[in-house]
Amino acid sequence: MEQNNKFIISGKPEPVNITEGCGSLGILLRKRLLRNGDNVALVDGVYSSELRYLELLEKAVCLADALRSEIGVRSGDVVGIISENRLEFPVSLFAAFLLGATVAPINLTYTEREFDHALNLSKPKILFVSPYSAERAIKAARRNMNFVKQVFLYGEDNPYGADVMLYDEFLSKKPAINPHTFWIEPTNMEEHVALIMCSSGTTGLPKGVQLTQRNVIASLPILSELESSFEGPRIILGVIPWFHAFGCLTLINVLCNQQKLVSLPKFEEGLFLSCIENYRCTFVFVVPPLMVFLAKHPLVDNYDLSSIYTLLCGAAPLSKETADLVKKRIGVKNILQGYGMSETTLAMVVQTADCNKPGSVGKLLFGTKAKVVDPETGRILGPNQPGELCFKGTQIMKGYIGNEKATNDTIDKEGWLHSGDIGYYDEDGEFFIIDRLKELIKYKGYQVPPAEIEAILLTNPKIKDAGVVGVPDEAAGELPLAFVVNQPNVTLTEAEVQQYVAERTSPAKRLHGGVRFVSEIPKNASGKILRRELRAMLNRPKSKL
């Protein structure tokens, strides 16, 4: 009965023959890389070193052949990558895909404990690590030699011992392999896991999200959907970490759509701005903290950012006000939002140049269905009625590795993925995200979205950043409280901040719990506010800031 429900909305059908008749993701990737031969695929934004498409494929094939013949890496084995964005990363990623192996990118800033958690989720047979995190990562690998059989180290020096192999040494002196004839095993793309992505760990320990080869292929047309109305060179800035779904799938998307990607190993203010100016970047994938930086930081005025045609923002709430500030300040043509989860491969909902209502995250992508349900009753809701967003489609994950319960709690028996996010769609099918179900503040029976109050606080020129949580309260349930980071050299009192919000909100959304002044708002690598860390700060004595 539900399937015919008029409130279930669908995106366009997937492009016909999306797998192009290829028997595996590896075969499709080879076809796409060959198509673009001698053009530049990747530029290291720090060292300006370049990798052309054919070079990328030749290196990946050579590495794949060596891994198969010398280490015995087979289809179905897991290959871990613990590295910042650098040119060896896509070579290792594509080599694994050519072997039909599963890739587990892991956050290089993890502590040893977090590495243990991530490694025991995906149990990689081999690990590629960069010097940045090698010491911690190799210690964690050595604690897990029951499954980690070999560590390869990027860079020139290996102070860690003979059990670690230098990637460049391993790859050099290898016979050249003809990329056209390299044997790639056909796989069952619907079942075969291509990526195990760690979710961001915003609401708890990161989960191991299994994305099949078919999930990855389903995401490939996104870029052409996003750049529908753009003429001119596409020079994309890749600063979103490739160990996160947003960054990794964007990297694969760019390389399968013959674009040029300029990579940055991390976000550093001057490097980010000078990279855009020097390489004349036209498309920049960003997360909201970068948008707040572009909106408010004085350094931005020192750089020529006129090459930017489109900013593509996702991974966390972006307010209309912040987007307007950026548009006004740097004159970018498009600011397009998208909404996704690690569990949905890449975005499920994106704005395009001709579909971008202010504050919306856009419309459903092809091959996707959505419904909005009342979190209490499960009843399907209609347009403009906020509820939990649920999705179905070819981008929905296979499940959480080693966690059947969490999988069944997230994907129901009818195959609907329950996002845990509250939002609605309007009469035109454009989606609006309110906040996470788990993070709504309950004040006297009202549901107060922290993101809405944070958006208001960010419009105050004296405020650099803000994070809002609920303070437990006997009478009201929870009281909204704001952690605030002042702009440098300004003074701001608690009363001023409370007044500023009170003038702009209904009574329930006012800062009844007060204001705490802090030096920074804790966020994770994919730009999300770690409100559970803010809640932990509630129990600490007020700072004298």
Ligand X SMILES: Nc1ncnc2c1ncn2[C@@H]1O[C@H](COP(=O)(O)OP(=O)(O)OP(=O)(O)O)[C@@H](O)[C@H]1O
Ligand Y SMILES: O=C(O)[C@H]1CSC(c2nc3ccc(O)cc3s2)=N1
Contact footprint for ligand X (CB under 6 A) = 199-204, 206-207, 314-317, 337, 339-342, 361, 419-421, 433, 436, 526, 528
CB of 450 to ligand X, least distance (A): 12
Q: Which does 67 bind (CB under 5 to 8 A by kind): ligand X, ligand Y, Mg ion, none?
A: none
Site string for Mg ion, 177-216 (x = CB under 5 A): ----------------------x-----------------
Nearer to ligand Y, 243 or 339 (CB): 339
Q: Are 82 and 173 in contact (CB under 8 A)?
A: no
Q: How far is CA 218 from CA 133, 253, 278, 335, 365, in A?
A: 32, 10, 33, 24, 10
Q: Which of 338, 367, 450, 480 touches ligand Y (CB under 6 A)? A: 338
Is residue 393 part of the contact set for ligand Y (CB under 6 A)? Answer: no
* Smallest separation, CB 49 to ligand Y (Å): 27
Q: Find the binder of ligand Y among 43, 104, 347, 484 (CB under 6 A).
A: 347
Number of residues located near ligand Y, criterion CB under 6 A: 17
Binding of ligand Y at residue 526 (CB under 6 A)?
Answer: yes
> Which residues are CB-neighbours of 207 under 8 A, at least 6 positions away?
121, 198, 199, 342, 400, 403, 406
Distances (CA, A) of 237 to 44, 251, 272: 10, 10, 9
The correct pick among 62, 346, 370, 481 for binding ligand Y (CB under 6 A) is: 346
Shortest distance in whole angstroms from residue 76 CB to Mg ion? 26
The answer to whether the beta carbons of residues 392 and 415 sit under 8 Å apart is yes
Q: Write down the least CB distance from residue 192 to Mg ion, Å.
A: 24
The option from ligand Y, ligand X, Mg ion, none interacting with 436 (CB < 5 to 8 A, set by class) reads: ligand X
Task: Output phi, psi for 28, to 5 deg.
Answer: -65, -40
Q: How far is the CB of 316 from ligand X (least distance, A)?
A: 5
Query: Residue 2 and residue 416: Cα distance in Å, rounded?
Result: 12
Residues 276-335 that bind ligand Y (CB under 6 A): 312, 314-315
Query: Least distance (Å) from ligand X to the CB of residue 376?
Result: 20
Looking at beta carbons only, is 215 or 419 nearer to ligand X? 419
- Shorter beta-carbon distance to ligand X: residue 107 or 394: 107
CA distance 100 to 82: 19
**Interaction partner, residue 350 (ligand Y, ligand X, Mg ion, none; CB < 5-8 Å by kind):** ligand Y
Q: Which does 262 bind (CB under 5 to 8 A by kind): ligand X, Mg ion, ligand Y, none?
A: none
Q: Is 255 helix (H, G, I), strand (E, B) or coil?
A: helix
What's the Cα-to-Cα distance from 303 to each of 47, 235, 277, 278, 296, rounded to whole Å? Answer: 19, 17, 7, 10, 14
486 binds ligand Y (CB under 6 A): no
Radius of gyration of the chain (CA): 23
Do the Cβ atoms of 493 and 459 come closer than 8 Å? no
Q: Which phi and psi angles does 487 have, rounded to 5°?
A: -65, 155
Give CA separation, 100 vs 79, 183, 188, 405, in Å. 10, 11, 10, 27
Per CB under 5 A, residues contacting Mg ion are 199
